[in-house]
Amino acid sequence: MKTLVCLMLLGTAFALSGPNDRQITDPKSVTSQQNADAKAVPVEDLFFTRLISDAAWSPDGKAIELSTTLTGRANLWKVEANGGWPTQIAQSDERQHEGQWSPDSKWIAFTQDKGGNELWDIYVISSNGLQLSNLTNTPDVREQAPRWSRDGKWLACIVKPKEAPSYNIAVLEVATRQLRQLTHENDPQYTWSIVDWSPDGKTVYANRGDLVGADADIYAVDVISGKTTNLTAHSGKSSHTGSSVSRDGRQILLASNEKGGFENIALLDVVTKKMSWVTDTQWEAAPGEFSPDGMRFSYELNQDGRGDVYLSDRNGQSRKLRMPEGINALEGAQHFSPDGKSLMLAHAGSNTPTDLWIYDTSTNQARQLTHSALASLTPENLPQSQIVHYRSFDGKTISAFLYMPFNLKRDGSNAAVLYPHGGPTGQSEDVFNRTINALVSRGYIVIAPNPRGSSGYGIEFQKANYQDLGNGDLKDDMAAVRFVLDTGYADPKKVGVTGGSYGGYTTLMAVGKYPQTFAVAVDLFGPLDWFSMMKNSDPLLQQYIVSLLGDPEKNRAIYEDTSPSKYVANIKAPLLVLQGENDPRVPKEETDQVVDMLKKRGNVVDVHYYPAEGHGFAKRENQIDAIKRTVDWFEKYLPTGAGAKTASGGR
């Protein structure tokens, strides 16, 4: 096993730097590294490299459950905590997530949908994989986020009927399969999520918050009566979201943006309802969980799209785990070993796929537990991302991840691709991105910005694109294109754009509002028209749109001005559109519209629909096909020297 000595810093979590401390990057300081062995990465290698998510440590300490795509489907597996080859627990053509061990380590609860429709059911399976039961079996209701009570008799979860706009809290008796809803949300702009059980099983703690994370509170919900008690009542709008309850039931670990709109870690006294702060930072902090003995807790700190993990005691003394640069995160709600001496972490980087690591707090060493990458995908063969900062049109500082291919000449001849993220309240992070790696290894410069509206930079920045979608945030993206051109590497006539979901929306807006800039585009399931989205998409997403644009009747002009449909007539770039047939968030009607409109105008446009796929493609063969179509489209209409060399192979 690979071993990494992890130094740790001990001390009170003092005030850290934040977004205001970012320094503007000189475009001319950007360089392309030389690598004589550089070559196009085969798409198949990217997708036979496994993805890992939703890992959980068994209460007996022997095994770790994880959802991984080892077989091309996101199914449940387990691996011995001491290391070894993983064993498949559940096998399905459908995706399985959110695995949680029962307190006796005999069962695992998890969620599974059908064909990407996001109508999740809760299942339980024995730890040896021999007994499997669907506990809910409701084709038109989502049941998600199962959380065992400490006696193992109940599962707390969230529920949302297909036509409902909000999630609510429910409890499910495992033996009888009887589900009882505890909360009944009346405001479609608010929804519920699980925090944890009280030690005595009489209370479920839950978060109730708006859809953009600006206003939220933690509630105690009585399991028998359903009575709710607000533990973080406040005036105005601020967010308080819990994640874990201490073993003695006295404290809740949470994040709050009361400190100037920036997420910080705090401890909430359940009885007095008073908070004690753990961090004071303008970066984004996220709570983890309490250790089994309740004396320590974990949390994450997201600094400009890169993440670190911290340990702290209940007096606020914090220790930072020194892991490799990239994203270091806490996977799931069961990441402490039963004795509390070790933590399970997930590590990923731009040239390193996600793997699980075990950090031993007594020896200050971490060992890599899983090895997801194929042998061909060594970090040395993939360019590492770099964070750059630039000024946008109104002086705002914008961060972006820039990916420079190997061996480029600074002669203004190279192709560049804008890669906008989803959301819009999402963030480009320093993770292993298959699309980006496929393009960069073929000679395309890629830039992935975090424009206004992105999370990770405080609530004011996140709300800066309110009722202004596809305008200010798109100008931030266009400033990213200008940054790439200013490096001297890229040709202004060789710029493309691709993205998924809101990134697909941005792609359509970019080629519609700036038709002279883009030579090619690939849109993955992006919204075209906000009015049709309000008619056809999932009700929760409809309310999310309202939270971003306001009431559709009162603000009709805003909905029209921010819809790509208004600008379709301007599109000149050849456009490829990829869409899942079962997508509940951005239904296929959106893709149908844009393709029909462009075909009638005689534009170069192509489309491919994936059956039994939802919002994003979960099946390996479809993922491979989508990336191959994307690469082929770019190489046809925006060829690079590297692309020309690999046109007949290496894909």
Per-residue pLDDT tens for 550-565? Answer: 999 999 999 999 999 9
| Overall average pLDDT of the 9-30 stretch | 74
Across 477-489, b (16+ Cβ under 10 Å) vs e yields: bbbbbebbbebeb
Grade residue 363 by pLDDT with cuts at 50, 70 and 90: confident
Rounded to whole angstroms, the Cα distance separating 437 from 92 reads 29
pLDDT at residue 235 greater than cutoff 70: yes
Same topology for domains 40-368 and 383-645, yes or no?
no
pLDDT at residue 351 greater than cutoff 90: yes
pLDDT at residue 32 greater than cutoff 50: yes
Cβ atoms of residues 210 and 227 within 8 Å: no
Ranges of each domain in the chain: 40-368, 383-645
Cβ atoms of residues 383 and 33 within 8 Å: yes
What pLDDT, on a 0 to 100 scale, did the predictor assign at position 14?
38
Grade residue 16 by pLDDT with cuts at 50, 70 and 90: low
Cα four-point dihedral sign 521, 523, 529, 530 = negative
| Overall average pLDDT of the 280-306 stretch | 95
What pLDDT, on a 0 to 100 scale, did the predictor assign at position 642?
53
What pLDDT, on a 0 to 100 scale, did the predictor assign at position 255?
98
pLDDT at residue 172 greater than cutoff 90: yes
Beta strand 365-368 with 386-391: parallel, antiparallel or unpaired? Answer: unpaired
Cα atoms found within 13 Å of the Cα of residue 422, Cβ hemisphere only: 11
Highest mean pLDDT among 2-11, 39-48, 200-209, 639-648: 200-209
- Measure Cα distances from 465 to 132, 164, 471, 573 in Å: 46, 27, 8, 26
| Overall average pLDDT of the 71-86 stretch | 94
pLDDT at residue 651 greater than cutoff 80: no
Grade residue 317 by pLDDT with cuts at 50, 70 and 90: confident
Grade residue 339 by pLDDT with cuts at 50, 70 and 90: very high
pLDDT at residue 2 greater than cutoff 50: no
What pLDDT, on a 0 to 100 scale, did the predictor assign at position 96?
97
Please, what is the average pLDDT of the chain?
A: 93
What pLDDT, on a 0 to 100 scale, did the predictor assign at position 648?
29
pLDDT at residue 641 greater than cutoff 90: no
CATH of the structural domain 40-368, one choice from 3.40.50.150, 3.40.47.10, 2.120.10.30, 2.30.30.110? 2.120.10.30
What pLDDT, on a 0 to 100 scale, did the predictor assign at position 67?
96
CATH of the structural domain 383-645, one choice from 3.10.310.10, 3.40.50.10470, 3.10.20.340, 3.40.50.1820? 3.40.50.1820
What pLDDT, on a 0 to 100 scale, did the predictor assign at position 331?
83
pLDDT at residue 645 greater than cutoff 60: no
pLDDT at residue 582 greater than cutoff 50: yes
Give me the percent of the chain exceeding a pLDDT of 70: 96
> At 474, which helix (H) or strand (E)?
helix 472-486
What pLDDT, on a 0 to 100 scale, did the predictor assign at position 536?
96
What pLDDT, on a 0 to 100 scale, did the predictor assign at position 377?
87
Q: Which residues, including other chains, have CB under 8 Å from residue 287's CB and lie 6 or more apart?
A: 241, 242, 243, 244, 253, 254, 255, 265, 297, 299
| Overall average pLDDT of the 182-204 stretch | 97
* Spatial CA neighbour of 615 closest among 470, 501, 450: 501
Give me the percent of the chain exceeding a pLDDT of 90: 90
Question: E strands along 89-140, which residues?
Answer: 96-101, 107-112, 121-126, 132-134
Angle at the Cα of 614 (from 613 to 617), degrees rounded to 5? Answer: 60
Write the pLDDT tens digit of every residue in 34-75. 999 899 999 999 999 999 989 999 999 999 999 999 999 999
Phi-psi region of 381 (alpha: psi -120 to 50; beta: other; left: phi over 0): alpha
What pLDDT, on a 0 to 100 scale, did the predictor assign at position 381?
87
Rounded to whole angstroms, the Cα distance separating 280 from 257 reads 10
Helix (H/G/I), strand (E/B), else coil: 227: coil
Rounded to whole angstroms, the Cα distance separating 92 from 96 reads 8
What pLDDT, on a 0 to 100 scale, did the predictor assign at position 362?
83
